[in-house]
Amino acid sequence: MNLIKLLDTICPDTKSAEDKDRFFSRREAFRQFGDFGKKMALAAVPLAVLNSIPHVAKADTASLIGVLNYALTLEHLEYRYYQLALDSGVIEAADRVIFQKIRDHELAHVRFLQEVIGNVLMGTPVAEPKFDFTAGGNFSPFTSYPTFLALAQAFEDTGVRAYKGQAANVKESDVVLTAALSIHSVEARHASQVRRLRTKKGQDAIKGWITNGSIGSLPAATMAIYAGEENLTHGGVNVSSLTGIDAAAVSEGWDEPLSREQVLGIAGLFLAGSN
């Protein structure tokens, strides 16, 4: 059913001339917005630009704001986590350069998303929630370095899956999609680094990429973060069967998305008042 709908969407030649025009003009309008977006500092897009996007633009804009506010919530969580850790002194001196860089990126993502939501899409950026990084007293990330690293890995791997899960929901805006993809790969770089660091420290035996759906030595509470990562089938084809490459390696070669509900279920553990 979805595929039939998809076909109708991407094949305007199956519809009336009017629909075809609308399809291309709408797509083109977003594309121009996208090109424009790349050149601007993202501070000052006139409202008129958005108003000039024809047809369903307003609904799409509301939807984009919703997705970006969801992303902003996660970026708030990550930024606050790293800032508190850097302030606490829990991070070993030699590794601070890594987490300062990650913190800088998360703060930049917070500011960037606030800017896009508030000054480009003319929405209201969500306020930073109150976080409880002990998850109700279960973790001590700011006094135990191994715990800090474990949760950092959990947040980064979750972030990668969260952005991936939203790509299709922002694709009508080239500028928002491209920005989301450009954040997504940065989160993946963070995840790779933190995962390998944990292994170097002897806390785990994992690689920069996710093998099967393994949580490694992380607490069982993180199972939801890796559930589904063992998938071998893409576009209907089992790539391990296709290639003869072992399932572990094929599972590593593709990261899987999570839905907003799944991610908020995970992040909810760290929201104050939910425990």
188 binds other proteins (CB under 8 A): yes
17 binds other proteins (CB under 8 A): no
Q: Which of 59, 62, 168, 272 binds other proteins (CB under 8 A)?
A: 168
Q: Which of 22, 26, 101, 260 binds other proteins (CB under 8 A)?
A: 101
Phi, psi of 265 (to 5 degrees): -65, -40
Q: Which of 57, 64, 71, 102 binds other proteins (CB under 8 A)?
A: 102
254 binds other proteins (CB under 8 A): yes
In sequence order, the 6+-apart residues with CB closer than 8 A to the CB of 12 are 19, 20, 23, 24
Query: Measured from the CB atom, is 88 or 185 closer to other proteins?
Result: 185
4 binds other proteins (CB under 8 A): yes
- CA distance linking residue 131 with residue 149, whole number of Å: 17
Q: Which of 63, 69, 178, 212 binds other proteins (CB under 8 A)?
A: 178
C-alpha to C-alpha distances, 153 to 31, 110, 129, 185, nearest whole angstrom: 35, 19, 21, 15
174 binds other proteins (CB under 8 A): yes
Number of residues that bind other proteins (CB under 8 A): 70
- Over its C-alpha atoms, the chain yields an Rg (Å, rounded) of 21
Q: Which of 20, 32, 34, 66 binds other proteins (CB under 8 A)?
A: 34
Site string for other proteins, 125-164 (x = CB under 8 A): -----------------------------------x--xx
> Residue 133 in contact with residue 81, Cβ under 8 Å?
yes
Q: Which residue has the tokens 């839905």?
A: 259
Query: Measured from the CB atom, is 49 or 107 closer to other proteins?
Result: 107
Query: Measured from the CB atom, is 131 or 207 closer to other proteins?
Result: 207
Least distance (Å) between residue 134 CB and other proteins: 27
Q: 123, exposed or middle or buried, with CB in 10 Å at 0-12, 13-18, 19+?
A: middle
Q: Which helix (H) or strand (E) holds 237?
A: strand 237-238
The window from 45-53, 146-154, 205-213, 261-269 that contacts other proteins (CB under 8 A) reads: 205-213
Least distance (Å) between residue 158 CB and other proteins: 12
Decide: helix, strand or coil at residue 209.
coil
Q: How far apart are the first and last CA of the chain?
A: 40
- CA distance linking residue 235 with residue 107, whole number of Å: 36
Q: Residue 270 gets which letter from DSSP? A: G
Query: Measured from the CB atom, is 33 or 270 closer to other proteins?
Result: 33
Structure tokens at 236: 């209907």
Of 205, 194, 200, 32, the residue nearest 101 (C-alpha): 194
Task: Enumerate binding residues for other proteins (CB under 8 A).
Answer: 3-4, 6-7, 10-11, 13-14, 31, 34, 42, 94-95, 97-98, 100-102, 104-109, 111-112, 160, 163-164, 167-168, 171, 174, 177-179, 181-193, 196, 207-209, 234-237, 239, 242-243, 245-246, 249-250, 252-257
